[in-house]
Amino acid sequence: MALRGKFEQTHTTIKVVQWLGCIFLFSIPAMGSIILFPQPLSVESLKWIQLLQTSAIFLFPPLCMAYLWNAQPWEWLGLKVSICQPSNVSVPPCSLPIKRGLWAVGLMLIALPAINLLSYLNQQLTLPEFLQPLEAWMKTQEENAALITEQFLNVRTFGGLIINLLLMALLPAVAEELTFRGVVQKLFQGTQALENQSSKVPHLAIWCSAILFSAIHLQFYGFVPRMLMGALFGYMLVWTGSLWIPILMHFTNNAMAVLLYFIANLTGWDMEKVDTIGAKDTLWLGVLCLLLTIVGIYAFRRSTTMSNASSRISNGN
């Protein structure tokens, strides 16, 4: 208990060093355990490695840092479901109302064809001739990532589906949001908690963390849509004060991919056609869903602003 919030007043640079050091410490046993897996690595072994690496890099460090950097780590991360706000504090309630949760899920589902459209446009990227070696490397990274993903998703049992939903949808949603929205976004803000920002929207922090979120995946032909999703998740955190909203949206996006691949494996669907819904022959759908997504984001923001204003009025602010 003595360590809780001990480094709350520490300079941001020192906090970055602490965070990176924590990642290194957790990564030692995770990386060391890889040598225990038989060679060549099977898909099951790769899934275990994915679990260990994701937990070591993205899940445990932000939880530890929140404990060390704030006396109320769950509130600081935005993970506490309900907070009774003092009447003299004008901040959005850190909660997860059912209405907001359903709205966030619906918004993510509507956005899927738009994401496919943006991915299709991103894939048309062609670098200048003098950067051809870089482009070749980018394509190799993309192909390797796609190959591993297909191996992971190639399951035909409900047990395999559940494992993939946990490993490829739930774990990344929780762990990556803890890291990029829970920690990185706050570090870019100078470690001042979002709950204390009042109505100020930290645009620079949101977009910097979104860029890092997209870059860390090393899938450059999906960089733009992933960056835009990261920015959306960042704004959702600021608008609602709850990290559960971006976690829920992140999970929805990942889970839909897992479910569609599972259905495709059982029915013989062509996943290439599924991945291009909203692009190529269905370009109109992608454009329509992009417009609907923009309208939905605006409506969500307006509803949240009015709700927060009503809460402040009822508290006498």
Confidence (pTM)? 0.88
First to last CA, the chain: 34
Measure CA 230 to chain center.
6
CB proximity list for 276: less than 8 A, separation 6 or greater: 116, 120, 282
Tens digits of residue pLDDT in 255-312: 999 999 999 989 888 877 888 899 988 999 999 999 999 999 999 998 887 766 565 5
- Picking from 290, 286, 291, the residue whose alpha carbon sits closest to that of residue 275 is 286
User: Residue 152's pLDDT is what?
Assistant: 92
Per-residue confidence (pLDDT) for residue 92, from 0 to 100: 46
pLDDT of residue 88: 38
Q: How confident is the model at residue 313, as a pLDDT?
A: 56
Neighbours of 114 (CB within 10 A): 23
> What pLDDT score does 91 carry?
43
Q: Which residues contact 35 (CB under 8 A, 6 or more apart)?
A: none
Asked if residue 309 lies in contact with residue 93, where contact means CB atoms within 8 angstroms, the answer is no
Low-confidence ranges of the chain (pLDDT < 50): 83-95, 191-199
In the chain, % helix, strand, coil (3-state, to 5) comes to 75, 0, 25
pLDDT of residue 193: 45
